Amino acid sequence: MDLLKLIVRNVFRHRLRSGLTILGVVIAMLAFGILRTLVGAWYAGVEASSANRLVVRNKISLIYSLPLAYKNRILHVRDVTGVAYGVWYGGVYKDKKNFFAQFAVSGLDYLDLYPDLILTVQERGAFRKNRKAAIAGRKLAQRYGWKVGDVIPLQGTIYPGDIALELTGIYKGARKTVDETAFFFHYDYLNEHIKKVFPERADKTGWYMVRISDAARAPEISEEIDALFKNSLAETLTETEKAFQLGFVAMTGAIVGAIKVISVVVIAVILIVLANTMAMTARERSAEYAVLKTLGFGPRFLFLLIAGESVAIASIGGVLGAVLSYPGARIFQVQLENFLPVFEVSATTVLTIPAVALLVGLVAALPPAIRVSRIGIAEGLRHIG
């Protein structure tokens, strides 16, 4: 009990110094949490992938298309329970700054492959009946103030010409980690438009999404699908959805690596700052520690006294940093929503921040604690901080 009282008094003895150190820990832990969340957001698509979904694309590159006729042949492969297709539209909504994911898909069969996208029965029915219908994510609709019944004009970039779509549904994610910023509409409507303005690109899709009943057979099914179109004008590459998403992450691997390095550097910097604070504190109190030794307090007590103060400062900063990570993430989410639609602070990150802060506090206390435990009583009494 006496040890705890001494630790609390020591923490607040130099309030300005302790306050600034705690502030430094808060900022560092907040930055660490945001950087971890940023890395997690980069892998959000990978984490949301299903082991029962495969992606079939052109073997050369995703920018090359596949014939629509492939769908029926893929459906006949054993353990394939569903096939849908889609293309990236890439249109402009009013201004080029208004970027969001736009997919022309085969219909409700595509959305059915993603059970985490929640639509009402009425919204599903309206989308099925209306060839100009579109479905938008909740966050996307909020961003632009859309409501069901609105007409959404899109100016073509990849596909020339303009199209106008009626918003018939707004989907919600079953979990916080579900992307709610996507936009879906009927491929058939786009295909009709393409036949008029660019007939050479009609009846072709960008990729096929394949649902399988046995995830363990994913490699075999992938090989069977690719074998169907071997030596054709459009050979395929079939892979799991997770592998497909990891391919996109790999393109920006250097960026993700740099973010991870920066997060480690942030921890190293605050470790140095806290270690310097504790070393300064220990030098100033050398005479006090010497007096404690003369009263019979051993090295273990002195180590706990110094380590307790360091851990207390780091823990206060860590807890505050963890709490502030939520509003901090919201600020970043607003700025990065176009590129990283899922930017949620995970429970693991929130728990990791104080744990890292605790570890930093312990490590920062080691040099001054070891020095104090080894210094003689006479030397400590002579020392002037």
Check whether 253 has a pLDDT greater than 70: no
pLDDT digit string, tens, across residues 328-362 = 888 877 766 666 677 778 888 889 999 999 999 88
- Select the more confidently predicted residue: 190 or 11: 190
pLDDT digits (tens, 9 = 90+) for 62-74: 889 999 999 999 9
Range of weakest confidence among 34-48, 80-94, 158-172, 225-239: 34-48
Contact 177, 46 (CB under 8 A): no
Quickly state the pLDDT bin for 104 (edges 50, 70, 90): very high
CA–CA dist 144, 140 (Å, integer):
7
Residue burial 135-167, b: 16+ Cβ < 10 Å; e: rest: bbbebbbebeebeeeeebebebeebeeebebbb
pLDDT digits (tens, 9 = 90+) for 259-312: 888 888 888 888 888 888 888 777 777 777 777 777 777 778 888 888 888 888
pLDDT of residue 382: 65
The answer to whether the CB of 174 falls within 8 A of the CB of 109 is no
pLDDT of residue 369: 80
Q: pTM of whole model > 0.85?
A: no
pLDDT of residue 45: 67
What secondary structure, in 3-state letters, does the chain show? CHHHHHHHHHHCCCHHHHHHHHHHHHHHHHHHHHHHHHHHHHCHHHHCCCCCEEEEEECCCCCCCEECCHHHHHHCCCCEEEEEEEEECCCEECECCCCCCEEEECCHHHHCCCCCEECCHHHHHHHHHCCCEEEEEHHHHHHHCCCCCCEEEEECCCCCCEEEEEEEEEEEECCCCCCCCCEEEEHHHHHHHHHHHCHHHCCEECEEEEEECCHHHHHHHHHHHHHHCCCCCCCEEEEEHHHHHHHHHHHCHHHHHHHHHHHHHHHHHHHHHHHHHHHHHHHHCHHHHHHHHHCCCCHHHHHHHHHHHHHHHHHHHHHHHHHHHHHHHHHHHHHHCCCCCCCCCCHHHHHHHHHHHHHHHHHHHHHHHHHHHHCCHHHHHHCCC
What pLDDT is attached to residue 168?
A: 96
Contact of 135 with 103, CB cutoff 8 Å: no
Q: Report the candidate in 105, 90, 74, 67 with the shortest Cα–Cα distance to residue 200.
A: 67
pLDDT above 90 covers a percentage of the chain that reads 42
Residue 170 is predicted with a pLDDT of: 96
364 pLDDT more than 80: yes
- 253-284 vs 299-336: helix axis angle to the nearest 10? 150
pLDDT of the residue at 344? 79
What proportion of the chain, given as a percentage, has pLDDT over 70? 93
**Banded pLDDT at 175 (limits 50, 70, 90):** confident
- C-alpha–C-alpha distance, residues 27 and 109, integer Å: 47
Per-residue model confidence (pLDDT) at position 257: 79
Residue corresponding to tokens 């140095």: 272
**Locus of tokens 């029926």:** 72
> 353: which 2 tokens?
């921040």
How much is the mean pLDDT over the chain?
A: 86
- Partner residues linked to 226 by β-bridges: none
Taking residue 34's Cβ as centre, other Cβ atoms within 10 Å add up to 23
Average pLDDT of 128-147? 94
Dist. CA 153–CA 26, nearest whole Å: 46
CB-count burial class (<10 Å; 0-12, 13-18, 19+) for 185: buried
The residue among 168 and 342 whose pLDDT is bigger is: 168
Listed range (116-120, 148-152, 156-160) with the worst mean pLDDT: 156-160
Assign 169 a pLDDT band (cuts: 50, 70, 90): very high
> What average pLDDT does range 309-325 have in this prediction?
90
Residue 214: pLDDT band with limits 50, 70, 90 = very high
Instruction: Tell me the C-alpha distance between 161 and 103, whole Å.
Output: 16
pLDDT mean over 86-114: 91
- pLDDT above 90: residue 43: no
Residues 190 and 130: their CA atoms lie apart, in Å, by 13
